[in-house]
Structure 1
Amino acid sequence: MRLLRKLGLAAAACLLLADAAASDTIVKWLHIEANPAQVKIWEEVARAYEASHPGVKVEMQFLENEAYKAKLPTILQSKDRPNIIYSWAGGVLKTQIEAGVLDDITEQVKGYSDSLTPAALAAFTANGRVYGLPTALSQVGFLCNKELMAKAKVDPAGIKSWDDLLAAVKTLKAAGVTPIVVGGADKWPLHFYWTHLAVRIGGKPAFDAALRGEDSGFAGETFQKSGELFKQLVDLQPFQNGFLGFKNPQAVGYFGDGKAAMTLAISTVYHLQRALAADKVGLSEDKICWFDFPVVAGGKGAPTDTLGGITGWLVTKGSPKEAVDFLKYFVSKDVQTRLAAGNFIIPVVQGADAGLNNAFMKLIAANLAKSNYHQNFYDQSLGPSVGRVVNDVTAEIAGGSMSPQNAAKAIEAAWKQGN
């Protein structure tokens, strides 16, 4: 009888525990971060949030970058969709807002949003309503391997113009060094060249005019010339063998392995190359250099104009209020300062930049601070349909299957069709 009583109490306890577990609010967080050192901090932040918010569980889910982009439209239609998703803002965000798959979080972030850099918050705002929170800024430029540059007697500090870059490529090839590594299979790393050339040639006025359909839009002189100059580079065969078959993580690892002198990349690759290198060590800080994308003779863009991302997080439709609460906790001064101190991000929370303690990250932060025109990636800024065409035609120029003129016309046609 005593044994039965004990068994009954044990069963009751199990039921209570099961009920408690069932009553937990689950916040599903889908990310694409491939750097385990950064993810480790994120996990620690999530566990700390759970400890201070009993009854809330934060489940982290990972998808590789390209798989995420391909699957996200379907994921957002699922009843089991994640609550927090990664975003590059821009036209893709606009499409998601129009599709009604996101929560308007304006009221929930009132007051808190004042702590964010206004330009970063604006990227996640539409018609005065807030749909997400920014988390980091980035700049696209050339990362370089000091030893390989020195082997060819190329001074990265001397690469100021597009002609300087072309000359450096020729010199590196003559020295038996692979000048540039790129993940051509993913296409978007190639679009950095065409896009940044447009930023240098036409500046913000050319992009804004193209959006309005003026000066032949994206088929106009600025964008045709961008393709022509890109083809100048392509014709020198600057990339590693088989570059159109390399995925971006593979290309980043190739750079980290010390097999190419340069890579045109997002500033976060400075650290990511270590995680993706074969030895998981990559290039140490004293072996890496950086130079901004070269200027173009006669270009109307300012040398301080930048290309890069304003990335952040969105909350999907019907998510529990705890999803926004966790985001505010995650994009806080304390967490952003910690991530900045680890040299993982250029923060968006005011005052968190005090955590930056690395010369490279401070350089990127200073570049962004003096930039009066920070252009978001075209493949994000122009929306998913047009962005896909931008990436496709850039890869076709690189592969020699499309002329710069036809590439520009294809982008304009896609823009007209979608607008």
Structure 2
Amino acid sequence: MGDPALSRRGFLAASAAAGLSVTALSGCGGDSGGGSSDGTTTVEWWNISTTEPAKGVWAALARKFEAQNPKVKIKIVQLENDSFKSKMTALTASGKLPDIFHTWGGGVLKQQVDAGLVEDLTDRTKPWADGLLPVAKDPYLLDEKVYGIPFDMGMIGFWYNKALFKRAGVSEPPTTWTGFLDAVGKLKSAGITPLALAGKEKWPGMYYWAYLAMRTAGADALQKAYDDKDFTGAEFVQAGEHLKELVDLQPFQKGFLGAAYSSPTGQAAAVGNGKAAMELMGQWAPVVEADAGKGLGDNLGFFPFPAVEGGKGSLTEVFGGGGGHALRQGAPQAAVDFLKFFASEATDLELVKKTGVLPVVPGAESAIADPNIKAVQAQLKAATGFQLYLDQAYAPAVGQEVNDSVAALIAGSKSPEQVTESITKTAKEEQ
């Protein structure tokens, strides 16, 4: 599912943790994973699977694990993406993390590891983790040590409504940025909202700038800019200028700046209910569109982010990532056992069939039935470069600044140059 040699980058956003109550922090770290008087170990598992079918499937898997391990109780805490990130930021600052927690790897995980809060899983998982797909494991490797176990891998691309494209006279998904802008214009002329965007949550907007930066500067440029603490190069400014070209066409749904991602009136629902023709989102998009809205069924298609004419990047350089689980330092053996259970071929087959994830166990690839998910996997397998989510690739403050600055550009309050200057300033302050 991709070249194991693809370079490692990073993952999805660390929000500011304002106003969290003390009760929101209870039950974590040393307070969980404890044994009771009857010898039962309670393991607290924080994840972001708040939409169906994943929410129910994951809960059922926890019950199945409990049935196989009668002395273990899995306490599930499911939080929406932004809420999870803000609470995890607060927990990291407090020095206590849940027994098992969702991670995207990258700079945020590194910060937690550097603080001594995350269990080194290298030796405890080696007998079975060696069999997982290398590209899926890569984001959780720090100094060749394993700090997380993947359960999904994928990429960001455009999900589109075939019927709306046809109505607007767009015969084929565009492969160039000029062609994409032309398609947006045709959709608008046909009275169709071209794009849905969750402006309130900021990270979906970041995907546009990140991909445009990859297409103009090449796949390795984003990591080099972070290492050099300098995002002011001409190609990064160009990325913002290309995004501004799109924003100036007013392509997004009415009220997009206040829209969430997975709510009944948000980005995914707008596409799932046929109110917008496209969204730029990850491999989970079809499932969330169907949960938040009606879903498009056979009318849903997928295409990779277009190439930018004259840019150094190519269509085969992809942006995305997956999801994994990490353990707090000192987590009980039962937590490691649960990761092994979750990474087994039997579990992976169930996740692929029921929740639309891409497999991390090679033997589960045969279970992919959805043609769009097959298309995503084919793109991953053909990838010549890979960049993981910027707001997790970088240190939390830098990742948040990328999200904030790009959101300001989309809202019209920052110029392309100011975006690069703000990110550079924050990166230098992190030194």
Q: What is the TM-score normalised by the length of structure 2?
A: 0.88
Answer yes or no: is 1:411 the counterpart of 2:426: no
Instruction: Describe the superposition over 1:170-227 as per-residue Cα deviations: whole angstroms up to 9, x where unpaired.
Output: 11111111110100010110011100001111112322431342xx821111211100
Distance 1:130 1:199 in 2: 28
2:140 paired with 1:128:
no
Alignment pair present for 1:298 and 2:314: no
Q: Measure the CA separation in 1 of the matches of 2:381 and 2:58.
A: 26
Aligned residues: 394
The amino acid of 1:418's aligned partner reads E
Q: Letter of the aligned partner of 2:372 in structure 1? A: F
Q: Encode CA deviations 1:307-364: one digit per residue, 9 max, x unaligned.
A: 1113201101221111011111111111112211235211112222121122111111
Deviation at residue 77 of structure 1 after TM alignment: 5.5
Tell me the secondary structure at the aligned position of residue 183 of structure 1: coil
Identify which of 338, 350, 358 aligns with 2:362. 350
Q: Which residue of 1 aligns with 2:236?
A: 223
Alignment of 1:329 with 2:351, yes or no, is no
Q: Which residue of 2 aligns with 1:391?
A: 403
Aligned-partner Cα distance in 2 for 1:385–1:196: 20
In the alignment, the residues of structure 2 paired with residue 122 and residue 138 of structure 1 have an alpha-carbon distance, to the nearest angstrom, of: 13
CA distance in 2, matches of 1:83, 1:107: 18
1:311 and 2:323 correspond? yes
The aligned counterpart of 2:22 is none
In the alignment, which residue of structure 2 is the partner of 1:240?
253
Residues 84 and 323 in structure 1, CA contact (< 8 A), matched pair in contact too:
yes
Provide closer, same or farther for how the CA distance between residues 80 and 398 of structure 1 changes in structure 2, counting only shifts above 3 A. Answer: closer
Task: Name the % identity.
Answer: 37
Alignment of 1:3-402 (within 5 A): 22-76=38-92, 81-157=97-173, 159-213=174-228, 217-249=230-262, 250-277=266-293, 281-284=294-297, 286-342=298-354, 344-402=356-414
SS in 2 for 1:189: helix
2:219 maps to amino acid: K
Shift of 1:55: 0.6
Instruction: Measure, in 2, the Cα distance between the counterparts of 1:193 and 1:269.
Output: 16
- Taking the aligned partners of 1:21 and 1:369, their CA distance within structure 2 comes to 50
SS in 2 for 1:241: coil
Cα deviations across residues 125-162 of structure 1 (Å, max 9, x unaligned)? 111221110111121111111222122111243x1100
Measure the CA separation in 2 of the matches of 1:408 and 1:311: 28
When Rg is computed on C-alpha atoms for both structures, the one with the higher figure is 1
- On the 8 A contact 1:156/1:289 being kept in 2, the answer is no
Pick closer, same or farther for the CA change 1:254–1:21 going to 2, 3 Å: farther
* Equivalent-residue separation in structure 2 for 1:136 and 1:282 (angstroms): 22
Helix, strand or coil at the partner of 2:326:
strand
Q: How far, CA to CA, are the matches of 2:226 and 2:53 in structure 1?
A: 40
8 Å contact from structure 1 (residues 27, 57) kept in 2? yes
Q: Which has the higher contact order (CA 8 A, sep 6+)?
A: 2
Change (3 A) 1:205 1:132: closer
Q: For 2:82 and 2:226, locate their aligned partners in 1 and report how far apart those are by CA, in whole Å.
A: 27
The unaligned stretches of length 5 or more in structure 1 are: 1-18
1:76 CA drift (Å): 4.1
CA drift of 1:292 comes to 0.9
**Counterpart of 2:271 in 1: which secondary structure?**
helix
Alignment-mate amino acid for residue 154 of structure 1: V
Cα deviation, residue 75, structure 1? 2.8
Residues 215 and 314 in structure 2, CA contact (< 8 A), matched pair in contact too: yes
Aligned partners of 1:300 and 1:332: how far apart in 2?
40
Gaps of 5+ in 2: 1-34
**Compared CA separation, residues 385 and 20, structure 1 to 2 (3 A):** closer
1:103-128 superposed Cα distances (whole Å, 9 cap, x missing partner): 11212112211111122222111112
Provide the TM-score with structure 1 as the length reference: 0.90
Q: Is the 8 A contact 2:132 2:360 kept in 1?
A: yes
Work out the CA distance in 1 between the residues paired with 2:73 and 2:50: 22
Question: Which secondary structure does the structure 2 equivalent of 1:138 belong to?
Answer: strand
For residues 210 and 36 of structure 2, what CA distance do their matches in structure 1 show?
Answer: 52
Amino acid at match of 2:72: V
Opposite residue 231 of structure 1, the aligned amino acid is K
1:244–1:399 CA contact under 8 A, matched in 2: yes
Task: Tell me the distance in 1 between the aligned counterparts of 2:172 and 2:42.
Answer: 49
Answer whether contact 2:53 2:287 (CA < 8 A) is retained.
no
Distance in 1 separating the partners of 2:319 and 2:338: 30
Question: Can you list the C-alpha shifts for 1:269-289, whole angstroms capped at 9, x where unaligned?
Answer: 112101011xxx3222x1111
* Aligned 8 A contact 1:181 1:251 in 2: yes
Cα displacement (A) at 1:78: 5.8
Alpha-carbon distance in 2 for matches of 1:238, 1:192: 16
What is the SS of the residue equivalent to 2:381? Answer: helix
1:135 match: secondary structure:
strand
- CA shift for structure 1 position 79: 8.2
